[in-house]
Amino acid sequence: MPQTLTDLGVPTQASWQRDFLGQPRAGRMLFITATWGACFIFIAWGLRDASALWFGALRALIAGAALVALGLVQRRPQPRGARAWGWITLTGLVNVSLAFAAMFAGVAGLATGTAAVLANAQPLLILLPAWWLYGEVVSARTATALVVGFAGLVVVALPGGGGSGAALSLLAAAAVTAGTLLSRRLSGIDVLAATGWHLLIGGLALGVFAMLVEGAPVVDWTPRFMLSLAFLSLVGTAATTVAWFVEARRARLDVLTAWLFLTPVVGIVLAVWVLGERPAGWTAVGLVATLVAMWVALKPQGDDLEGPPSA
């Protein structure tokens, strides 16, 4: 018998517009954003002992293998059908292979705080695609708040440099944005299985690319590197990506990604405290503007968040 989209683990357009209307859980989002902010410190540490592409590939492979193994032990349902596997593979190539390669290379070419800011431009980048694909209309208040919030982060980031590092960090943000949008296509698949397999596939592809670009891996397995890799893989990737995909399945994307303004705030504070980076004098002003804008964006707005009328 022919399989329907639902049978293949792919939600229909009607279900997308109906289901993704919840508010993100604050505790879960604080965990995600604070952890992702800390990741930039661990990336900076680990890059002292490994090349960027191989470091990113190892991070994804360990995280993916851990989640796939956990899912098999728990006897979670695995993806079925070519369509489901196709979406998982595409999400892995974009959200892992491209995003991790650009993110790690961006940190290598920029101040850590600046890379954290530019790599978290999702709140702005996701507005138009979220409306186009999922019918999520953003109010003028929310759009203004997101623009002001990102402007505040740019004020903080500008003294940290530009060039190829800035371009790579923005590419990472675009890739993660696309990955978040694609993750909704996985809504009918067990979240642990979908997350694990997309990380494993993306990590394998990134490993092949690393071999072509950087050659055989050269890693100095110092305690610092092993600690960085363990945190990035198990906490900063496996745990947070599962949590992020869970929220992406139930929450509006503009509200969900507004939480990401906290990620560079954490990254900047830790870069100052741990790495000794010196922020510019306007840093406090930019951070305050960002936090106020985030509060405005997350404030409930009643019934003004309706999708476009159906034809």
Q: Comparing 283 with 185, which gets the higher pLDDT?
A: 185
Statement: residue 9 has pLDDT above 80:
no
Task: Write down the pLDDT at residue 280.
Answer: 61
Per-residue confidence band for 303, with pLDDT thresholds at 50, 70 and 90: very low
Position 289 confidence tier, pLDDT thresholds 50, 70, 90: confident
Mean pLDDT along residues 298-311: 50
pLDDT at 159 (0 to 100)? 60
Report pLDDT for 270. 84
Structure tokens at 260: 């990401």
Reply yes or no on whether the pLDDT at 112 is more than 50: yes
**How much of the chain exceeds pLDDT 90, in percent?**
43
> Quick check: 214 pLDDT over 60?
yes
Mean pLDDT of the chain: 81
pLDDT at 279: 63
Q: pLDDT value at position 310?
A: 39
* DSSP letter string, 10-62: ---HHHHHHH--BPPPHHHHHHHHHHHHHHHHHHHHHTTTS-HHHHHHHHHHH
pLDDT in tens, 151-164: 776 676 666 555 55
Q: What is the phi/psi pair of residue 238, to 5°?
A: -60, -60
Give residue 100's identity as a one-letter amino acid code: F
Higher-pLDDT residue of 91 and 115 is 91
> What is the band of 308 on the pLDDT scale with cuts at 50, 70, 90?
very low
Q: Tell me, what's the pLDDT at 261? A: 79
pTM: 0.80
Rounded CA-CA distance 156/148 in Å is 13
